[in-house]
A and B are shown apart, each in its own frame.
Chain A
Amino acid sequence: MDIKSAEKFMEKLVKAGMEYGFEECEASFSSESSMSIDILNGEVSSYENSATSTLSFRGLKNGQMGYCSTNILEDSSIDFLLKSAMENCEVLNDEDPQFIYCDENNKDLYFSQVTDAYSKNTYKSFSELGLKLEKAILALDSRIDAVDFLTISCSTGPYLIINSKGLHSYRDTDGISLMASARATDSDGSVKSGGHYWIGKDIDDFDLDKFLAKFKENLIGKMGAKSCKPGNYKVVLKSEAFQQFFMVFFGNFLATTMQRGLSLLADKEGETIASSVFTVKEEPMYDKALTKIPFDDEGVLTTAKAIIDKGVFATALYDLKSANKAGKTSTGNGFRSGSAVSEMPTNLIVVPGEKSFEALLEEAGEGVILTDLSGLHAGVNAISGDFSLLCEGYLIENGKKGRPVEQITVAGNFYEVIKDIISVGNDIINLPSGEGEFFTPSVLVNSLAISGDDE
């Protein structure tokens, strides 16, 4: 479905919604075109191409917001959408009012960030790059058996929102991602797997040598890994691991989670919750970000802000509903998840410190570097902050990276970890996260419990 046809359908739907008896109503449309290739054993083993779209409708009646969604944009769907949304309004008894929004000064926004570089993303360019990369990975070390996973994908698509209050705003996005993982067998028969990723907007920005160096470190560096003695260690959470770790607990910074009594950060805005060396900002229009987000999915303008400012919890993220409940204004973080709206972060940035990764190791003296955390979807208690996770990494010996370690767990509590950060590095990486990306360096944590089995 092209955007012009979608727009016509949405205008018709909103008009029909008002005639159906909603007090206010809104339609939003998102669509995505994507392409991806997989490389296996010197061939393009798989190619995918797609076009999907979703239309979501929400309508207010007696203070309740009913939702319904479909991907069938035909006149016959209008009746289904309105009827289902109205039925949903009738069973809801949410005590907190919801809103359909329109800022008179910013009601007709248009923001396109798809560049000409997107047209370089073709089957030919991806397969050439993928085949070259697979060959180069296999040539890195004789112990590498196979590249089990190598995929290059790109996607682009618009988001359009139209409502009965006059809002009519458009934004779009595009991006490329490349992920590869390989397997290597040591002389003793032990197997390790490891890989690397790249995200960008222009395929020509991919730096093969840089990628391979990191790939080698992530796979061959782990060879010969074994467990280590249990105990409390100084821990350097490598940037990728810290990003994953922080995001698992990020729900606690959302106003709705707090208002439901499911976050220990409720009522802590303005209080010190983390180490004074730790600052986390949200910058929706961050210049280094691949995706910039000028307005959220409720049509509210986004703004740059600190979430944690030198250890102080500066602000939670709010959408229209949670902001109203808290007597504040929306921070522009209302995004659709499924059909409903809830708070999500855009681009997050952990403000880097002065020290390089090597300087963090020197500061630690003795300890453990954690490069990979597994089981984040299960091994954490998102509310209490408790975690116990399988991980991999290296020992830190005499202030330098030592032998690789595996089959260990790290356990602790999120709230204690962020208070216990002694230093923040300057080795920033970016990974897709939330509605945007997460930019973070590695951090040094004073003490965490490691369990292992060093026989």
Chain B
Amino acid sequence: MFNDSDVSRILEEAMSTTADFAEVFQEVTESKSVSLLNGQVIRAATGFDSGTGIRLLAGTNSVYVYSSDNDIEVLLKLAKEAAAAIKGNDKGSIEALKALCSTSKATIEIDPMSVPKKDMVDFLRKSSDYALSYNPLITQVASGIAHTSRTARVMNTRGVNAEDTTKRIRLSVEAIATKDNEKQSGRVAPGTMRGYEFINEYPIIEKTQECCDTAIRMVNAGYAPSAKMPVILGNGFGGVIFHEACGHALEATSVGIKNSYFTDKLGEQIASAVVSARDNAQIDGEWGSYATDDEGNTSSDLLLIENGILKNYLIDELGGRRMNAKPTGCSRRQNYSYAPTSRMSNTYICNGESDPKDIISNTEYGLYCTQMGGGSVDTSTGDFNFAVNEAFMIRDGKVAEPVRGATLIGKGQEILKNIDMVGNDLKLAAGVCGSLSGGVPVTVGQPTIRVSSILVGGREG
């Protein structure tokens, strides 16, 4: 990492022309991972990377330069190039760097870096041994543990001098069931910012069995129907619907350039009155958390929607300049090779009042999605799609036969208004969100909810 005088030299060089703001971002990341397939350790990897990004702003004009070489002369040259490219009106000022402020939302008892890979392998073997002897239909089991420790420091011309450390660990187990030419899988992939104690406490056998059961159910299941129908989305990763259909459209990345269907909608009813939602980066030990964002701002617990009314957008520095609004501490980037932008952290629909059992019994016919895959959204049109990994038909208020191959499609702005029941069983689930500033760890979440009508794309008429 640099010393303060190096940083000052870079900032001075960056501000030598017409930028009104400059920022130096420096990052050091260590990673380790092991992967098993059917009990064999097929990959064990270690990485150590570091790099620096320099950003200049002049109004809404931005220049970003970065290098994996942290040599001060290399960076001064890049800063000079950046200064030549920025298009502003006046030369901005530089405030003296404050004392370094270090933060972290990680709650670590056992540092995963100190755990031998052999222990990780032994843990994962318990899962593969169990799965492979569980049922003859289970033919493969893939599992892995990946840990990343990242310290990111942000220093800017407003005197900000902050560093945040994240230490994330993620476990994954995928069981595959085979029947004739058909293969279906069941998967769990919890992630956390707790230490290795999370792995030690994880009920691996119970969860492996759940993966096997899902894979077996799905390999035996018929295809989902194609029709508009009520859809119940189970808690946890079901929250990907909110993440895709609403969260992305609340990011300044799209709102700031008016490329979102929620542009200029603050204070308006954008969702059904039973819907409230938050983006909370401050939860200790949670996968998507951070204490200080990648622009050096303190992270926040932001109320996005309250009883259906839009309360806040997710705003970064550049988006804030476009929207004439203050940043909300949500600026993130995968690493130094991306300029930061507004992103989600732990984003979820808040608990409602319905008992999940009542949601099912109140649905005569529909689809009950218990495990969601990923999805995507076009924030200008609202078009979204989600894959469903495990689903059941609901008939006469009861959970009926399992079905596979369903996709949910619709318009984000409509779906939010069609949520008519919200359960009281909120749960969060880890994922990785890809967007302009790369892949960042996020959690999605929700209680069980019902949407009165979604188009289900399946293979049966």
Taking beta carbons and an 8 Å cutoff, which residues of A are in contact with B?
A: 1, 40, 43-54, 66-72, 77, 80, 84-85, 87-95, 123, 145-146, 148, 183, 191-193, 230-231, 260-262, 264, 338-340, 374-375, 377-381, 383-384, 386-390, 406-412, 449, 451-453
Q: Which of B100-108, B198-206, B303-311, B382-390 contacts A (4 or more CB under 8 A)?
A: B382-390
Interface check B69, CB cutoff 8 A:
yes
Chain B residues within 8 Å of A123, by CB? 85
Q: Which of B91-99, B280-288, B326-334, B403-411 contacts A (4 or more CB under 8 A)?
A: B403-411
Given contacts A54-B68, A85-B46, A383-B183, 13 further A-B contacts (CB under 8 A): A43-B87, A46-B63, A50-B337, A93-B41, A374-B378, A378-B374, A381-B405, A383-B184, A386-B405, A388-B406, A389-B407, A449-B226, A451-B227
Question: Does A183 contact B386, Cβ atoms closer than 8 Å?
Answer: no
Chain B residues within 8 Å of A85, by CB? 46
Given the known A-B contacts A46-B62, A46-B63, A91-B41, are A409 and B46 also in contact in the complex, defined by CB atoms under 8 Å? Answer: no
Chain A residues within 8 Å of B384, by CB? 390
Chain B residues within 8 Å of A87, by CB? 44, 46, 117
Chain B residues within 8 Å of A66, by CB? 44
Chain A residues within 8 Å of B375, by CB? 375, 378-379
CB closest chain-B residue, reference A183 = B380
In the bound complex, what is the Cα–Cα distance between A302 and B245 (angstroms)? 44
CB closest chain-B residue, reference A262 = B140
Given the known A-B contacts A52-B51, A52-B68, are A191 and B339 also in contact in the complex, defined by CB atoms under 8 Å? Answer: no
CB closest chain-B residue, reference A409 = B457
Question: Does B69 contact A1, Cβ atoms closer than 8 Å?
Answer: yes
Given the known A-B contacts A45-B60, A53-B69, are A260 and B405 also in contact in the complex, defined by CB atoms under 8 Å? Answer: no
Candidates B74, B140, B224, B455; contact of A453 at CB < 8 Å = B455
CB closest chain-A residue, reference B381 = A191
In the bound complex, what is the Cα–Cα distance between A390 and B140 (angstroms)? 30
In the bound complex, what is the Cα–Cα distance between A378 and B34 (angstroms)? 24
In the bound complex, what is the Cα–Cα distance between A374 and B374 (angstroms)? 11
Q: Which of B10-18, B255-263, B350-358 contacts A (4 or more CB under 8 A)?
A: B255-263
Interface check B151, CB cutoff 8 A:
no
Chain A residues within 8 Å of B376, by CB? 374-375, 377-378
Interface check B82, CB cutoff 8 A:
yes
Question: Shortest Cβ distance from B47 into chain A, in angstroms?
Answer: 5
Question: Does A47 contact B378, Cβ atoms closer than 8 Å?
Answer: no
Question: Does B85 contact A72, Cβ atoms closer than 8 Å?
Answer: no
Question: Does A378 contact B386, Cβ atoms closer than 8 Å?
Answer: yes
Question: Does A43 contact B386, Cβ atoms closer than 8 Å?
Answer: no
Chain A residues within 8 Å of B38, by CB? 260
CB closest chain-A residue, reference B33 = A338
CB closest chain-B residue, reference A69 = B47
Chain A residues within 8 Å of B378, by CB? 193, 374
Question: Does B51 contact A71, Cβ atoms closer than 8 Å?
Answer: yes
Question: Shortest Cβ distance from B129 into chain A, in angstroms?
Answer: 14
In the bound complex, what is the Cα–Cα distance between A228 and B380 (angstroms)? 22
Closest 7 CB pairs of A and B: A409-B457, A451-B226, A378-B374, A390-B385, A375-B385, A84-B46, A88-B44
Residue among B37, B455, B461 facing the most chain A CB atoms (10 A cut-off): B455
Given the known A-B contacts A47-B64, A52-B67, A386-B404, are A148 and B117 also in contact in the complex, defined by CB atoms under 8 Å? Answer: no
Given the known A-B contacts A52-B337, A390-B385, A407-B383, are A45 and B457 also in contact in the complex, defined by CB atoms under 8 Å? Answer: no
CB closest chain-B residue, reference A89 = B44
Question: Shortest Cβ distance from B170 into chain A, in angstroms?
Answer: 15
Chain A residues within 8 Å of B380, by CB? 148, 183, 191, 193
In the bound complex, what is the Cα–Cα distance between A375 and B372 (angstroms)? 13
Question: Does A72 contact B50, Cβ atoms closer than 8 Å?
Answer: yes
In the bound complex, what is the Cα–Cα distance between A73 and B305 (angstroms)? 48
In the bound complex, what is the Cα–Cα distance between A411 and B226 (angstroms)? 9
Taking beta carbons and an 8 Å cutoff, which residues of B are in contact with A?
A: 34, 37-38, 40-51, 60-69, 74, 78, 81-82, 85-87, 117-118, 121, 139-140, 176, 178, 181-185, 223-224, 226-228, 257-259, 261, 337, 339, 373-376, 378, 380-387, 404-407, 409-411, 455-459, 461
Candidates A80, A339, A383, A452; contact of B185 at CB < 8 Å = A383
Question: Does B407 contact A93, Cβ atoms closer than 8 Å?
Answer: no
Residue among B68, B86, B374, B410 facing the most chain A CB atoms (10 A cut-off): B68
Chain A residues within 8 Å of B81, by CB? 49
In the bound complex, what is the Cα–Cα distance between A292 and B76 (angstroms)? 35
Question: Does B46 contact A146, Cβ atoms closer than 8 Å?
Answer: no
CB closest chain-A residue, reference B178 = A261
Residue among B74, B182, B223, B384 facing the most chain A CB atoms (10 A cut-off): B182
Question: Does B373 contact A379, Cβ atoms closer than 8 Å?
Answer: yes
Candidates B64, B383, B409; contact of A46 at CB < 8 Å = B64
Question: Shortest Cβ distance from B258 into chain A, in angstroms?
Answer: 7
Given the known A-B contacts A87-B117, A384-B183, are A390 and B457 also in contact in the complex, defined by CB atoms under 8 Å? Answer: yes
Question: Does B228 contact A146, Cβ atoms closer than 8 Å?
Answer: no
Question: Does A68 contact B65, Cβ atoms closer than 8 Å?
Answer: no
Chain B residues within 8 Å of A95, by CB? 40
Chain A residues within 8 Å of B66, by CB? 48, 50, 52
Question: Does B61 contact A45, Cβ atoms closer than 8 Å?
Answer: yes
Question: Does A375 contact B46, Cβ atoms closer than 8 Å?
Answer: no
Question: Does A70 contact B455, Cβ atoms closer than 8 Å?
Answer: no
In the bound complex, what is the Cα–Cα distance between A260 and B35 (angstroms)? 13
Chain A residues within 8 Å of B223, by CB? 411
Chain B residues within 8 Å of A89, by CB? 44
Question: Does B459 contact A44, Cβ atoms closer than 8 Å?
Answer: no
CB closest chain-B residue, reference A71 = B68
Chain A residues within 8 Å of B226, by CB? 230, 409, 411, 449, 451
Chain B residues within 8 Å of A449, by CB? 226, 459, 461
Question: Does A340 contact B45, Cβ atoms closer than 8 Å?
Answer: yes
Question: Shortest Cβ distance from B179 into chain A, in angstroms?
Answer: 10
Question: Does B183 contact A46, Cβ atoms closer than 8 Å?
Answer: no
Candidates A1, A92, A409; contact of B455 at CB < 8 Å = A409
Candidates B37, B64, B339, B387; contact of A378 at CB < 8 Å = B387
Question: Does A390 contact B383, Cβ atoms closer than 8 Å?
Answer: yes
Given the known A-B contacts A148-B259, A409-B226, A451-B457, are A260 and B387 also in contact in the complex, defined by CB atoms under 8 Å? Answer: no
Chain A residues within 8 Å of B259, by CB? 146, 148, 183
10 pairs from A and B in contact (CB 8 Å cutoff): A49-B64, A69-B46, A80-B48, A191-B380, A231-B461, A381-B183, A386-B459, A411-B223, A412-B459, A451-B456
Chain B residues within 8 Å of A378, by CB? 373-376, 385-387
Question: Does A88 contact B46, Cβ atoms closer than 8 Å?
Answer: yes
Candidates B42, B47, B50, B68; contact of A94 at CB < 8 Å = B42
In the bound complex, what is the Cα–Cα distance between A147 and B180 (angstroms)? 50
Question: Does A48 contact B139, Cβ atoms closer than 8 Å?
Answer: no
Given the known A-B contacts A72-B50, A191-B261, are A91 and B117 also in contact in the complex, defined by CB atoms under 8 Å? Answer: yes
Chain B residues within 8 Å of A412, by CB? 459
Question: Shortest Cβ distance from B75 into chain A, in angstroms?
Answer: 10
In the bound complex, what is the Cα–Cα distance between A409 and B224 (angstroms)? 13
Given the known A-B contacts A146-B257, A411-B405, are A94 and B41 also in contact in the complex, defined by CB atoms under 8 Å? Answer: yes
In the bound complex, what is the Cα–Cα distance between A72 and B70 (angstroms)? 9
In the bound complex, what is the Cα–Cα distance between A70 and B455 (angstroms)? 47
Question: Shortest Cβ distance from A97 into chain B, in angstroms?
Answer: 13
Chain A residues within 8 Å of B337, by CB? 50, 52
Chain A residues within 8 Å of B65, by CB? 48-50
Given the known A-B contacts A260-B140, A264-B181, are A70 and B48 also in contact in the complex, defined by CB atoms under 8 Å? Answer: yes
Given the known A-B contacts A94-B42, A375-B387, A453-B228, are A409 and B407 also in contact in the complex, defined by CB atoms under 8 Å? Answer: yes
In the bound complex, what is the Cα–Cα distance between A46 and B374 (angstroms)? 30
Question: Does A388 contact B68, Cβ atoms closer than 8 Å?
Answer: no
In the bound complex, what is the Cα–Cα distance between A145 and B227 (angstroms)? 34
CB closest chain-A residue, reference B64 = A48
In the bound complex, what is the Cα–Cα distance between A80 and B382 (angstroms)? 48
Given the known A-B contacts A51-B68, A67-B45, A384-B184, are A451 and B257 also in contact in the complex, defined by CB atoms under 8 Å? Answer: no
